[in-house]
Structure 1
Amino acid sequence: MGLRERKKEELRIALSWAAIRLTVERGFDNVKVEDIAAEAGVSPRTFNNYFSSKAEAIAARHRERAAQIARELRARPADEPLWEAIVQAVAARFALGMTEDEAPSDEGWNAGIRLMLQHPAIQGELLRASRAAQEELAATVAERTGTDLDRDLYPHLVAGSVAAALSAVSDLLLRTDSRPPVAELLRDAFRQLTAGLPTP
């Protein structure tokens, strides 16, 4: 990725995080595009070059992270077992845009995120982002395994399982006051998946 593309991606992430932070603090209906742009240090026009709405900006973090996971998976060694490659790709990109040290972990933040995720506009954008992310990951799995994206279930089942694991980890992080290490939770989620989800 060239310098220009990298800077554009960094700005997309910055705008998305600004939208999330302000929405958690003020509520979705109390945040304007102008507020998000100012928080990220750009003009509203620049915001509109990247996103068509506040909700799209909020959902963009999920979409960008999934795209990064797919790219990371493509870059893994071809002889690496599929699920190990997936675990490594997810672990490398799950915290895209914010490290664990930078991410707020207090009860107020988690409550604000939960409230934000209940807004219909955000739910709609997240569904769209999730669908696109899952399709991109399925295509990557199909390339890696030599399966047919249009005819075979396998790449879609893998992509759906990865999406479910990421969702479960995210939900658990939002429900807990303490913040367990993300990498540890991810590895546990994929360990259980690859073991066939045996009864605890």
Structure 2
Amino acid sequence: MPTVNSSDELGRRDRKKLETRAALERAALTLVAERGLAQVTVEDIAGAVDVSSRTFFNYFPSKEDALIGRSPENEAELAGKLAAVPVSEPALQALRLVLRSVAELVQQEREQWLLRLRVLEQNPSLLPRLIAGNAEAERCLTAAVAERVGVDPAADGYPALVTAVASTAFRVAMIRWSAADGVPPLAGLLDEAFDRLAAGLPDPR
């Protein structure tokens, strides 16, 4: 009988956790899209995945957090990717490369992300949580940009400005992608936004 080493067991355990988390997110989004936010409980979501409410709370503090879900990459991962881009690349281009990788991850989960965006649009009460999460990601990236370009973000507004501009480009691309039902690749829409920024945002002809 083959033996299983601890790293294999840990890998399986981690995959199982990720699968359970993703299943809870899908169930929450599907149920809220069908019934409305007020008509869905944590018990409903847990039951749809055949887990207990206690298990649900191991992953999410509330049903609202399950709807917003986890970003494709967390703040530390984004900062790490930014640090990995050669310093010869300007900060805006480095952010473009990082956010493009995020866009590709979103595209891989197209149906779930389109459903999430629809649920968010239908339930404005969720927006404060989403904005808070985005703000935390921007703060982390701002700090990483400041370190990259060697300035104090408290004294120089460049890191915050370039991060905000890049984040806005990503948000606009997501809005357009959702409106088009995910048909054009998100990365292509993001590239278009950054190309316009690089050109100085000339008026469209």
CA distance in 1, matches of 2:131, 2:23: 21
2:47 is the counterpart of 1:43: no
* 1:86 counterpart = 2:95: yes
Any unmatched runs of 5+ in structure 2? 1-9
Match of 1:103 among 79, 95, 111: 111
Indicate conservation of the 8 Å contact 2:26/2:112, yes or no: no
1:103-136 deviation line (CA, Å, top 9, x unaligned): 269xxx66x8445334243112112112112111
1:1-200 correspondence to structure 2 within 5 Å: 3=11, 12-40=21-49, 42-62=51-71, 64-65=72-73, 67=75, 68-96=77-105, 99=108, 102-103=110-111, 113-114=117-118, 116-177=120-181, 179-200=183-204
Return the offset for 1:5: 6.8
Residue 52 of structure 1: how far off its partner (Å): 1.7
Aligned partners of 2:20, 2:197: CA distance in 1, in Å?
A: 35
Kept in 2: contact 1:69–1:94 (CA 8 A): no
| CA deviation after TM superposition for structure 1 residue 79, in Å | 2.9
CA 1:46–1:75: 2 relative to 1, 3 Å: farther
Question: Greater Rg, structure 1 or structure 2?
Answer: 2
Equivalent pair of 2:46/2:56 in contact (CA under 8 Å): yes
Shift of 1:43: 3.1
Q: Which range moved further: 8-17 or 47-56? A: 8-17
- Give the direction of change, closer, same or farther, for the CA distance of 1:5–1:77 in structure 2 (3 Å limit): farther
What is the CA-CA distance between 1:66 and the residue it aligns to? 5.5
Identity of aligned residues (%): 38
CA distance in 1, matches of 2:15, 2:143: 23
Distance 1:10 1:152 in 2: 43
The 1:104–1:133 alpha-carbon spacing in structure 2 relative to 1, beyond 3 Å, is closer
Q: Which runs of 5+ in 1 are unaligned?
A: none
Structure 1-normalised TM-score? 0.78
| CA displacement 1:144-184 (0-9 Å, x = unmatched) | 11121222211111111122111111111222246111111
Letter of the aligned partner of 1:34 in structure 2? Answer: E
Secondary structure of 1:56's counterpart equals helix
Alignment length, in residue pairs? 193
SS at match of 2:78: helix
Q: Tell me the TM-score normalized by structure 2.
A: 0.76
What amino acid is aligned across from residue 54 of structure 2 in structure 1? R
